[in-house]
Amino acid sequence: MVRSNFKLRSWSSVLGMLKQCSLLIEVVDARNIQGTRIPRLESGFGGKLVLAATKADLLPTIPSNTPAHFGSKKEEGKPSLNAKGEISPPTYYCSSRTRKGVDKLKSLIKKIAAQKIAAKKRLPIRIFIFGIPNVGKSSLINAISGRSSAKAGFRSGITRGLQNIRLDENIMLVDAPGVVDLATGEEYLALNAAIDAQRLKNPYSVAQKVLAKFIAADDDSIFAFYKIKKSMDIEEVLALIAISRGLLLKGGEPNCDEAAKILIRDFQKGKILAKEK
């Protein structure tokens, strides 16, 4: 189980900002949008919520954006719903690395701010950017602002508290620490890159789930990446990775625990991607 302070550290502060800010940008991983959303934080805020699907450059093809249409009194406060009646926010695919899609998201921020300014709302207009750990919130903010204002890095938990980054004299971006739902376990977090492999109590089970994704997709690229023979046995796969990387315990036994962490980190960073069926 993940430490309770890791799960709870940001929940209450985020709830307050959700109510106060004019636009909510939930940052998700474009490779697993539904798996990296936080439904409990979306409830009640659909009318001012958009999804920023980052790391879109890691997708084989980038889907079309579903632009937001906020501002009219008729639509204000009304979330877009899918066929199942679930909240279906507008989605903007973007990449902080290539900057693809960043300008469109920035244009939306400017548009919403202009509407609020025209309505004589209190300045600065605040835009809240949140998501689970390690989906690229801070990197996205830096891409939007054009400077390294938010702390960014692959290791989860880089942002420790709410950070205010001024986009211009009238707009303030608010960067939140990564938020984890109370019901979330470490296996789910690891598969969604929200917890470092080094912090896992049972990396073996997570590595097993990663391998299962490739087996289910009939995708041998994982074996080509590590230059090892194909195997459906996670124990053998980890042993082969350990041997190929020189990760040996006393007596020459493969260090499968460290090999599991390597496999998980490579999966989290997008170095190995299971193709879709």
pLDDT in tens, 173-209: 999 877 766 556 778 778 877 778 888 888 998 999 8
Q: Where are the domains of the chain?
A: 4-175, 196-268
pLDDT for residue 61 = 82
pLDDT band at residue 249 under the 50/70/90 scheme: very high
pLDDT for residue 69 = 53
Interior angle at CA 149, CA 71 and CA 152, nearest 5: 100
Q: What are phi and psi of 53, to 5 degrees?
A: -85, 95
Helices (H), ranges, 123-255: 137-145, 186-191, 203-216, 221-226, 234-244
Over 60: is that where the pLDDT of 157 sits?
A: no
pLDDT for residue 238 = 95
Q: Which fold has domain 4-175?
A: Rossmann fold (3.40.50)
- Mean pLDDT over 237-241 rounds to 95
- Mean pLDDT over 114-125 rounds to 90
Q: What is the mean pLDDT of the chain?
A: 81
Percent of the chain with pLDDT over 90: 42
Among the residue ranges 88-97, 140-149, 268-277, the one predicted with the least confidence is: 268-277
Over 90: is that where the pLDDT of 154 sits?
A: no
Among the residue ranges 19-28, 80-89, 156-165, 182-191, the one predicted with the least confidence is: 80-89
**pLDDT, tens only, 16-51:** 889 999 999 999 989 888 888 888 888 888 789 999
DSSP run (H or E) holding 41: helix 39-42
Over 90: is that where the pLDDT of 226 sits?
A: yes
pLDDT band at residue 6 under the 50/70/90 scheme: very low
Over 80: is that where the pLDDT of 67 sits?
A: no
For residue 196 the two structure tokens come to: 């470092």
**250-274: burial string, b at 16+ Cβ within 10 Å, e else:** eeeebbbbbbbbbbbbbbbeeebbb
pLDDT band at residue 241 under the 50/70/90 scheme: very high
pLDDT for residue 42 = 87
How far apart are alpha carbons 226 and 263 in whole angstroms? 9
- Mean pLDDT over 211-232 rounds to 92
| Strands 171-175, 163-168: pairing kind | antiparallel
How far apart are alpha carbons 194 and 130 in whole angstroms? 13
pLDDT for residue 2 = 38
Over 70: is that where the pLDDT of 52 sits?
A: yes
How far apart are alpha carbons 130 and 134 in whole angstroms? 11
pLDDT band at residue 75 under the 50/70/90 scheme: very low
Determine the straight-line distance between the first and last CA of the chain, rounded to whole angstroms: 32
Query: Which is more confidently placed, 68 or 178?
Result: 178
DSSP run (H or E) holding 253: none
How far apart are alpha carbons 31 and 217 in whole angstroms? 15
